[in-house]
Structure 1
Amino acid sequence: MLQSIRDNSQSIVAKIIVGLIIVTFALFGVESLVSLTSGSNAPASVNGQEIGEQELFRAVELQRRQILAQMGENADPAALDDNLIRTMVLDDLVEQSVLMQSAQEQGMAVSPQMIDSAIVGTPEFQLDGKFDRNQFEAVLRTVGLTPLTYRDYLRKETLIQQERAGYSLSAFVTDSQLEQLMQLDRQTRDLSYFELPIAPIRDAIEVDPSEVAQRYESQKSLYQTEEQVRIQYLLLDKADLAEGIEVTDAEMQGQYQQMLAGFASSEQRQAFHILVEINDDRDAAAAEAEAQDLRQQIEAGADFAALAQEHSDDPGSAAAGGDLGLNGRGVFVGPFEDALFALNEGEVSQPVRTEFGYHLIKLGRIEQTEPPSFESVQEELRQQLIDQKAESRYVEQLELLADLSFSSGTLAEPADELGLEIQTSEPFSRNGGSDAVTANSRVVTAAFSDELINDAVNSTPIELDAGRSVVIRVQEHLVPRQLELDEVAEEIRLELVDEKAAQRLDERVGELLARLRQGGTMSDVATEAGQPLNELTEVARTSQELAPEVRAELFRMPHPAADASSYGAVELASGGKAILALHAVHSPEAQALSDEEKRAMRGFLANRQGQQDYQDLVRALKGTAEIEIN
């Protein structure tokens, strides 16, 4: 889950945009303008540093949303194992903490100027080749970040990346290692081979009925049916309830008035701010004192925008005089938003404390959103009303379905009362069926419950998704039974045919290899086997002329002795086998490799070695860290 950031700030942003950053967001980029609090009973601690319940909760929730988004529209939250997600997320948070501590102990550091330069130079934050503050904020909002949290996230990830890069960039390979690896990589081989298909052998095999009966008796317990059930069910579908719902003009007008009321209460406020950051060089008291000093300058007539450009530690807004743009409620959180919406136009707040320092907030202008005309939203209002009525009817009928199903001995009464059709499924096992109802994990669990099987009762309503629910009843319980010989005779016969064919093929391959090793030629042996001989020279490891399994076996075979060949056999994907003869091995001379090829290979091998070294470091750090999981 922890998404490594490999190259530079651009790759970080690209990964944010496509949504690949999961746990890191939750750890560093969710709470933007409020202080983080951690509970006294932390879920874990790493070398005495706690991982709080709050940050773990946010990380788990964000991971759940990521998984559900990948599952699509019909995602079933109940199908997720929250305990498993929590365990995986906590493990990643522990690793993140270990890496941060290691980077700090190694003296890794990143200056505010480096972060500012990375942000300003990020293409995703630019319009027409220049950094654009509105674009910057818009991109971050799509992934739930603010400029301040993104800046902090970038700082921490850059620290970890520095140590990772230290290992990656300091790894090396010697000239002898490079030469050996290059020769192995560019090595080519000469071979000849022929295939022995299994189909003719299978066709010639006969199995006596007594063999089938003997196999059946010896493995009788294997030949049983699966436990299955057949269910009857009632499907309540909100989409069906929406059909035939009519909406009057008066209702749409009423909905429109509600919309107008919402617009009337909706406002956007233009916020300006100056951030005085709390960092290693400035503690909380010093930051607050500086913020108070800046506020006194503003009260004395200093220009807020000029002070923001000179003193604000927020790179996303400082160049624009601290302008954060027009935003409604919900964009900012906690004390920042409360202070902003308590101001009158032109007023400047007292210093407001957040996770990152102290803010001076100035309210620019207030804008009311203009409502659309009735005609432009009429169809939207109609659909909203239909959806509302359908939802209301769905909830009412779902409650009625639950009551009737509980009190009724069959599905007939609730079906008649609600006008639903009693449907019957095909038999299905504990692995689920092939349709949307019987494939649902909750339906399968209920169908195989002791209550429904033994007590012959209706289930409670089972939600398939947001708009569909079913009540099921087990119509037939098919317990596992012993299959008779005549039911599985053909299956057993085919098993025996396959076994005998494989055995005969192995024996034939052994005979042919023995002839080759006794001095026979590949041409004569292939002719004896009735198969065409294939001969190839200078086959490379990347060659597409051979089947992958044949090519792999070719490069596993030992070098042949002088004026001789090495022989081997390999199973083919078709079930047959191929007999190979390795005649010669060709390795390129070291001087035949260009300097450019050597540099490219050296860089690749060193980078791979560096990555392995860093992974070894991560394992060692986690192994020696004092990690407590509560």
Structure 2
Amino acid sequence: MISLRKLLPTLLPSRQVSTRSRRLLAALSLAGLIGAPLVGQAKIEDLDHVVAVVDEDVVMASELDHQLAQVRNQIKSRGSLPPDDVLREQVLEHLIVQRLQLSLAERMGMDVTDAEIDQTVERMRASNKLGPDQFLAKLAEDGLTLDALRQQLRDELLVQKVQQARVYYRIQITDQEVDNFLNSEEGKFWLSPEYDLGHILVAFSGNGRGEDLTNTQARAQTIYRELQKGGDFQALAVSHSSGQNALQGGALGWRKAVELPTLFSEQLDGKGVGDVTEPFKSGAGFHILKIYNRRGAEQTVVPQAKVRHILIKPSEILSDEQAYNKLIDLRQQVLDGADFSALAKENSEDIGSMLAGGDLGWSLPGKFVPEFEQVLEQTKVGEVSQPFRSQFGWHILTVDDRRNENMTDTVIRNQAINLLRSRRFNEELDIWLQELRSQAYVETKLR
């Protein structure tokens, strides 16, 4: 007797086996077809079999063997392999947990677009510095086709999405935690700007006093004047610097300000990219620094608008056209002298702002939907916009004021929250995966 449960997986791509064959098998079971003998057929050796039942899904032996082969290839390049039975159980557990996450992603309606997979494949190819044909050849060496790789990437990206959706919301970072981090030595280091620097040292030839001090300072000033005229910093460093990096054009590379001697960091204060410091003295001689580039600790100034709006939502008793016409009438009332705030309190259907006269406060990038932000950007202070449509309904808005606000502290705190959250992610992820695994029905059938 041929077992359709064991034969079907050989007819489908490995990752699609679980979903498609499960549904087909369920239908066949209900029809009483599974297990029915096929008259005149000899017994056929099983081509595949289930190695784990995971809730309503299954993991097939072919999937496990394929994953095992890939893992063996990866581990061999780094060291010795663990015992085969241990490795087999580890890989099966990985597939079980992956299947649970993919099932959850499906229930949550998550998906990965072909464009996302295309971008990931291209990044992989580019990072390995391989041409298209070389990339395909490399995949073949690893026992993969491009279609198989794309399916693996689809699963991995889905797993990442469901992890981020379920784990990040579990991690709460308090204001006190942010304050403690920013005030710590680590936080100060993290906040410190980073410079790509060039360095010239004009060293003392003697004791650095009297005539030696004067001559050394004069030589440094001569080099500085050359630089002010457009001289090549690297060439002058090779010719005149006594620093350890002189033959590399005086390049110090990227350095955090807190990693530099205080004497150096003080000279960089207030300087911008391309600037050269005047010669400054240390115990070794006179130094000149050039800032090739800088990153971190930038000021973040955000243009903001103080905005009010009136929202009218189309409904079964108010058509889209009627909602639009109602706002046309309200706009005209404002232009004729009516108070926008009073009209918002009487007519707006935005519960969150109507009692405040439609006041939405100061805008922030991404605070409003794109349609709203586009009209807001085009509306001058004191003007009332024409009615416009968003996903929430029809709006008119007015801008009470505009300003450029320094949001550096807000941006820094948000970045610190993201950093602290990412540090706790792996720990929280392990806990969540354990919970997910413990709540699932799993039956393994390793032979």
State the TM-score bracket (shorter-chain normalisation): 0.3 to 0.5
**Bigger Cα Rg:** 1
| Structure with bigger RCO (C-alpha 8 Å, 6+ apart) | 1
